[in-house]
Amino acid sequence: MTTGYHPSRPADGRPRDLSRPLPSAVSWTVLCAFVVVFSVAFVVLDLPMWMPVLYSVLSIVAFACYGIDRAAARRNRQRISEQTLVMLGLFGGWPGALIAQQVFRHKTRKRSFRRAFWGSVVINVAALAGLVTYATLNDVSLELQLGTLWSQLVG
């Protein structure tokens, strides 16, 4: 009996939580649909600029984190926790994470991570839709009053 490396078992002997990755077309379709719907909503509903800026900045951060984590995995170095990657997606960085998963071919096979990641996408999109719907139906401004906030904090 040999105890050498086996691709379906890590060093501790437990079976790996791997499955076939989703077809990349699914990820790209979800991403394109989000960009189109969000862009239309931004123009038609006159959404504030902080929304696309937030998604863009968090997407860049998430993309970079996935790239760093992929490089660390290859070099057997300290990794970025899956919880951090999921939270970045939850707060709005999921578009960048989705691109990074495809570009780096990273975090696409581990079943438990994929479930958590796609759950964070659903929660984020539902929260965004709920926020925009509530604000639209109740005539609530989503603009950030940074000048007013700053004067209240300082003054």
Q: Say yes or no to pLDDT of 1 above 50.
A: no
Quote the tokens at residue 96.
């960048």
Quote the tokens at residue 136.
């639209």
Would you tell me the crossing angle of helices 94-104 and 24-44 to the nearest 10 degrees?
A: 150
pTM: 0.79
Instruction: Read off the pLDDT of residues 22-51 as tens digits, 9 standing for 90 and up.
Output: 778 888 999 999 999 999 999 999 999 999
Write the single-letter amino acid at 61. V
